[in-house]
């Protein structure tokens, strides 16, 4: 089963749990090896790194749940517009507040993505064998590249939603949250503009929830990959330690002389 499939099946929390179990529950990875061992400590700081991932995982889960609440409320406002109902100032203001809240969650996701990217660098420093693991047929782009790609896709998705709703894209300088809010707010002067803004806001909300879910998936994949690499190193250490223990426990064979007890007595027949 591929890393990606395992991560999607178990989710981010499962990947974190596996990673913590692989480090916190394995003394070989965090304590010095026996005196006769010929290898170094595998990952002295992995438990701290994985615990930080756990915090980010909880923040992402909370953000996704809150984002879904905002998206559902924005959907209700669009349903009102589609049914031909007028959208009072208070309702439009509430809708914009929901969109602002959703954009704030996306900004939080960007910060988490940046922090997770830095944690990936810390993991590589703490566990140099990770690069060797990646060379064993595991398909995975550099985490920094993955998070940068996610960030670009998040902006592109919002811009695409605005364009589909008929916004003039030359009025929007970039896809950051402030530009999106300004573009939607500028449409509030007329009923038609409000309808356009609500429709665009709903489309953006749907895409932003998807992007937060993609961020969760990306972190789960990264964590699963790192946990697997630590587990693989743990397995190698156990095999090497067993071989070393067996070598020192087995007595060396006797050499350099003949044991008198092993000599056979030959009886010469008496012909006399």
Would the pLDDT of 93 be above 60? yes
What are the extents of the domains in the chain? 3-241
Alpha-carbon distance 155 to 152, whole Å? 5
Average pLDDT over residues 24-39: 38
Looking at per-residue confidence, does 39 or 70 come out higher? Answer: 70
Average pLDDT over residues 238-258: 58
Range with lowest mean pLDDT among 63-72, 91-100, 171-180: 171-180
Would the pLDDT of 40 be above 90? no
pTM beyond 0.75: the answer is: no
Give Rg (Cα) of the chain.
31
Would the pLDDT of 31 be above 60? no
Query: Each residue of 109-147: pLDDT tens digit?
Result: 999 998 888 888 888 887 777 777 776 655 566 777 888
Range with lowest mean pLDDT among 2-16, 57-71, 165-179, 191-205: 2-16
pLDDT at position 64, please?
A: 94
Average pLDDT over residues 196-210: 87
pLDDT at position 23, please?
A: 47
Query: Each residue of 56-78: pLDDT tens digit?
Result: 989 999 999 999 999 999 999 88
Confidence of residue 150 (pLDDT cuts 50, 70, 90): confident
Q: Of all residues in the chain, what percent carry a pLDDT higher than 90?
A: 12
Would the pLDDT of 1 be above 50? no
């Amino acid at each position: 089963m591929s890393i990606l499939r395992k991560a999607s099946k178990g989710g981010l929390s499962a990947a974190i749990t596996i990673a913590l179990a692989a480090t916190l529950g394995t003394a070989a990875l965090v304590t010095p090896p026996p005196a006769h061992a010929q290898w170094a400590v595998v990952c002295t700081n992995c438990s701290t790194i994985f615990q930080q991932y756990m915090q980010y995982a909880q923040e992402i889960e909370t953000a996704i749940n809150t984002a879904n609440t905002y998206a559902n409320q924005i959907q209700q406002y669009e349903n009102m517009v589609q049914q031909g109902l007028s959208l009072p100032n208070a309702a439009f203001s509430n809708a914009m507040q929901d969109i602002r809240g959703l954009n704030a969650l996306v900004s939080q996701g960007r910060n988490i993505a940046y922090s997770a990217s830095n944690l990936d660098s810390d993991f590589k420093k703490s566990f140099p064998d990770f690069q060797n693991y990646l060379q064993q047929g595991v398909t995975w782009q550099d985490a920094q590249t993955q998070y940068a790609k996610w960030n670009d896709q998040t902006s592109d998705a919002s811009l695409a939603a605005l364009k589909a709703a008929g916004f003039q894209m030359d009025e929007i300088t970039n896809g950051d949250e402030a530009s999106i809010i300004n573009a939607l707010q500028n449409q509030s002067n007329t009923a038609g503009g409000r309808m356009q803004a609500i429709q665009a806001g709903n489309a953006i909300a749907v895409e932003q929830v998807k992007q937060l879910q993609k961020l969760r998936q990306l972190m789960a994949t990264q964590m699963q990959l790192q946990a697997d690499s630590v587990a693989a190193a743990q397995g190698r250490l156990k095999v090497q330690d067993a071989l070393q223990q067996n070598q020192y426990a087995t007595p060396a064979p006797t050499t350099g002389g003949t044991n008198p007890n092993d000599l056979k007595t030959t009886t010469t027949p008496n012909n006399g």
